[in-house]
Structure formats: C-alpha cells, structure tokens
Amino acid sequence: MAKVQSLFVCQSCGTTHARWLGRCEACSAWNTIVEEAHAGPNPSSPGMRARGKGLGKGLGLTFQTMDGVESTPPRLATGIGEFDRVCGGGLVAASSILVGGDPGIGKSTLLLQAVAGAALLDVKSVYVSGEEAVAQIQERAKRMGLEKASVQLAAETHLETILDGLKREKPHLVIIDSIQTVWTDTLTAAPGTVAQVRACAHELVSFAKKAGTIIILVGHVTKDGQIAGPRVVEHLVDGVLQFEGERGHHFRILRGLKNRFGPTDEIGVFEMGDTGLREVSNPSQLFLDNRGHSRPGSVVFAGIEGTRPLLVEIQALAAPTAFGAPRRAVVGWDATRLAMILAVLETRCGIAFGGRDVYLNVAGGLRITEPAADLAVAAALISALFDIALPEECVVFGEIALSGDVRPVTRAEARLKEALKLGFNKVYLPRAGATGMTASKSTQVTRLVSGQFGMAQHVIATAADLVTSITGQVQIQGQ
Ligand code: TYD
Ligand code: MG
C-alpha cells in the first residue's frame, strides 16, 4: 500500500507546496492553500498490474467513429415542469447535477419537491440530508403536502456510509443536500474544505456513472459567488443549475449554467409561498411592477431570458447631487454598462448627468445581463432626467454602441409577440428589429409604422433619435 502523503495545494493557481503557507508564493493569493492527501501510484490499478516491473504499458485504447450512438438518452421527468425544462426536458440516467445557490434561497425546498414529484411517478428516490434531521424533513414535507410520496430519507454525512446505503437500495434518483457537509475517511481535511468537497463529489459522480443513478448535489455558493470553492465541482458534474432570487422578493429563478445533455441559459421561474415553490407559467406578469399608467423614469424592457421572452420594468431616478461626486447606484444591471450608457448620452446627445445622482433599478429583483437592455436603460434615464413619461403601453429594446448607434438584437419577433400578448401596442426598437416595414429614409429620425404585429413601431437609429422621440425636441448632437 502506497504511503499517503499530504500535499498543500493552492486552490487558486494549483501550485503545490511542501508545507502550509498563509500566502501562495506563486500567485500571492492569501488563504488559498489547502491540505490534500496525495497517494502514490495505485498498485491495484489495471495499468499498474499490466505494467509489472519496468516501463509501463497501456491497456490498448480502442477508437470509435462519431456516428456510433444515435439514440437520444431517455429522460426522467420529475413532474415539475420548470425544473425539467431547465434540465433540458428531464433528467438523464447516470448523470450528475450540481444545484447551487445562496443559503436559505430554497434549494432544499425545490429538490424535495422534485424528488417527491419523481417518486409520485414511481421513480425510486432517495433524499440524503447532511443539514437537517429526518424529522425536520418529514415535517417540511407534511407542510408542503408531499408526505404521501415514497421518498426514502436519511440524515448522513459520511460518504462511505452513504455509498453503502445507495449500493444496497439501488435508487434511480438521489439528492445529496449538501455536498459541503459530506466527508470521507480517506482525507484528514475538515468537511467543507475544497479537498473534501472535490473528493466526495468525485466519488458520488463516479458512483452515478457506474450504477446508472441520477445524483443531484446541492452546493452552497461561497462568499465570492463560486459554487463550492473555485469551481472544484463544476467540471466534474454533467450539469450546473443556479437557484437565485432576492431575499425580499418571493420569486426564484433556476438558471442552467452548464448542461451536457441539453441547452444552457434556460430559466425556470418559481414563486416561494407557504406551501413551497409554485411554478410561474407567465413570468412577465410577475416582473411588471403593477403597471397602471406610464410614469417618468419607468420603462418596460422586452427581454429574453434563456429561450423565453420576458418583460421587465426598468426604473431610473436622476436626483440632484447634494454634495461631492455624483452617485451612480444600480440594482439588477451592470454598473459598468450604466456608466457606458451615461457616457454615450453625454457625449453623443449632449445630455449632462454631471450634477445628478443616478439610480437604476430592475423591478422584481431580476438581474439582466443582455446588452439588448441598453436602449431601455437609456430611455429610462432620459425619461427620468426630463421628467417626461414614455407613451402608455410601450416596450423598448435595442443595443447601444459607443458611437451612439442603436444596433439590432436577437429574437426581435419573440419580444414583440410577448409584448403584444401582454397588451402592449407600442415599441421603440432598432431598425433591423422592425418587422413588416420598408427601409426608412436616413434623414428621418423616427418613423411610426404599423407592423404585422399591430404595434406602433418607433424605429430608433441612434441614441440622439431616442432623446428626440422622448422629449419631442431636436437635441444638439455632440462631437
Ligand atoms: P430552504 O429550502 O431550506 O433553503 P436552502 O436549502 O437553499 O438553504 O428554504 C429556506 C427558506 O424558504 C426559509 O427561509 C423559509 C422559506 N420557505 C417558505 O417560505 N415556504 C415554504 O413552504 C418552505 C418549505 C420554505
Ligand atoms: Mg437546505
């Protein structure tokens, strides 16, 4: 048996050190060095047995052609539509998924509902919790009306015990809540350290592959926003789902970040209630902040989240700066992108935000990452600054370049259809996004065209056009 040595590995750059250090000598990062057990070559491995003494030989690698496997993997549905959709239409046998999110966001609730849903569809399911006692889970299941589902519960953190139990029970679906609490005998490192999380996740993922079981690992997001340390588990698993939302809001979003068996960037929307999570089939309604009549600084953005169109309200406020440098505060959008839009408006349209504190908020606590929101943000800023509301029932989308040009965005038609479905009848959009219209003359800044969607389409070619459309005055173009 090879002697197990300890190595001290920097989790940031991967450099190995002979002893623990507070700061990595290679990358100068603080507190990133973690002890990892390092065994020598495994004498019982097939490669080592084949090699005997002297230089080793491989076991003979066989190659196959690309067109070998043709069937699509069968999917296991949990009955929770939004969850199945984010997984690409259900879970795939012998795969492993990591569900990450802030503590208390509702990961255990979601997975308890998913596992109960699967059990009700006669899938043999196991829920192993390292955080809660069995009685606590039973009580929660009862409150959520899931106590009839035949899910096997266990409260355990010792990896070898968990694996023994799984080998005996042979379930199809296993939830491990959470991977940070699981520990293995083979390492001396404390539970929750990167070495333990990586070793345990590796064992569980290998078990899933061998036994044909689906394993879902729950992972708490660490302070710096990474799942279980610096991406240690993400590359091991077949899928990574992120469960997110704002504490003060009821809605939660399940976002696919990685999926080896389906599309990524898909979202599922849920609402947290007294009896667990409820699927939200029409999320646009949720994010539109009790829309009555149009107010200055408030603009509805026709966005796309994953593959779905989603209408969100963007709110801006431009208040006079009381003293010192003006503030720029943004919630739900990128602060750098806001600075860029402000710079474009100042430089290309001659609008000064210099003496104003600017606040930008995406209603409902959603986080938007699409550049298509640029035009909506600019519209909200202009509308707030001039205290002029946009027309009633109007949506906005388009990307703004540094030159001030408004660029077309993807899936304009889906955005328009969603807006129309929710009763909007006007849109500010880039030229190529306009449908059912003829090419407009370049001298004309804004044209009103009734497109095939029955919506009045204001085509915005540059940021200056937008200012003119909202304020109704001709602005002096900056240099
Ligand atoms: P939980 O699933 O335990 O979060 P996580 O596993 O991500 O840490 O959910 C915790 C929160 O959800 C808790 O603050 C209470 C709330 N909650 C409800 O509002 N309604 C419910 O039916 C349940 C089960 C939880
Ligand atoms: Mg939990």
Residue-level pLDDT at 311: 92
- Residue 230 exposed, middle or buried by CB count within 10 Å (0-12, 13-18, 19+): middle
Residue-level pLDDT at 443: 30
DSSP string, 63-101: ---TTS--SPPPEE--S-HHHHHHTTSSEETT-EEEEEE
Residue-level pLDDT at 283: 83
CA gap 446, 29 in Å, rounded = 54
Question: Ligand 1: does its nearest atom lie under 6 Å from the Cβ of 101?
Answer: yes
DSSP string, 24-54: -TTT--BS-EEEEEE----TTSHHHHHH-SS
- Ligand located closest to 180 CA: 2
Residue-level pLDDT at 288: 77
Residue-level pLDDT at 445: 31
Question: Ligand 1: does its nearest atom lie under 6 Å from the Cβ of 109?
Answer: yes
Angular region, 423: left φ>0, alpha ψ -120 to 50, beta rest: left
Residue-level pLDDT at 290: 63
CA gap 298, 153 in Å, rounded = 48
Among 107, 109, 227, the mutation site with the greatest number of ligand 1 atoms within 8 A of its Cβ is 109
CA gap 244, 332 in Å, rounded = 12
Residue-level pLDDT at 292: 66
Q: Mention every residue, 6+ apart, whose C-beta is less than 8 A from residue 168.
A: none
Among 115, 217, 272, 278, the mutation site with the greatest number of ligand 1 atoms within 8 A of its Cβ is 272
Do strands 394-396 and 406-407 pair parallel, antiparallel, or not at all (unpaired)? unpaired
Contact 115, 152 (CB under 8 A): no
How many whole angstroms from 24 Cα to the centroid of ligand 2? 33
**Ligand 1 nearest atom to the CA of residue 112, by list position:** 2
CA gap 302, 396 in Å, rounded = 6
Question: Ligand 1: does its nearest atom lie under 6 Å from the Cβ of 103?
Answer: yes
Question: Which residue(s) pair with 139 in the sheet?
Answer: none
Residue where the block lists tokens 């799984």: 166
Which residue has its alpha carbon closest to ligand 1 atom 16? 106
How many whole angstroms from 307 Cα to the centroid of ligand 1? 27
End-to-end CA distance of the chain: 75
Mean pLDDT by 10 residues, the chain (479 residues): 67 78 84 70 54 64 77 82 90 92 91 94 94 94 92 95 95 93 88 84 94 93 59 85 83 88 84 90 75 84 88 93 90 94 94 92 86 96 94 93 93 89 90 51 37 77 92 53
- Ligand located closest to 129 CA: 2
How many whole angstroms from 147 Cα to the centroid of ligand 1? 17
- Ligand located closest to 105 CA: 1
Question: Ligand 1: does its nearest atom lie under 6 Å from the Cβ of 106?
Answer: yes
Question: Ligand 1: does its nearest atom lie under 6 Å from the Cβ of 437?
Answer: no
Which residue has its alpha carbon closest to ligand 1 atom 25? 276
3-state secondary structure of 295: coil
Residue-level pLDDT at 295: 87
Residue where the block lists tokens 């490669």: 47
Residue where the block lists tokens 């929710």: 422
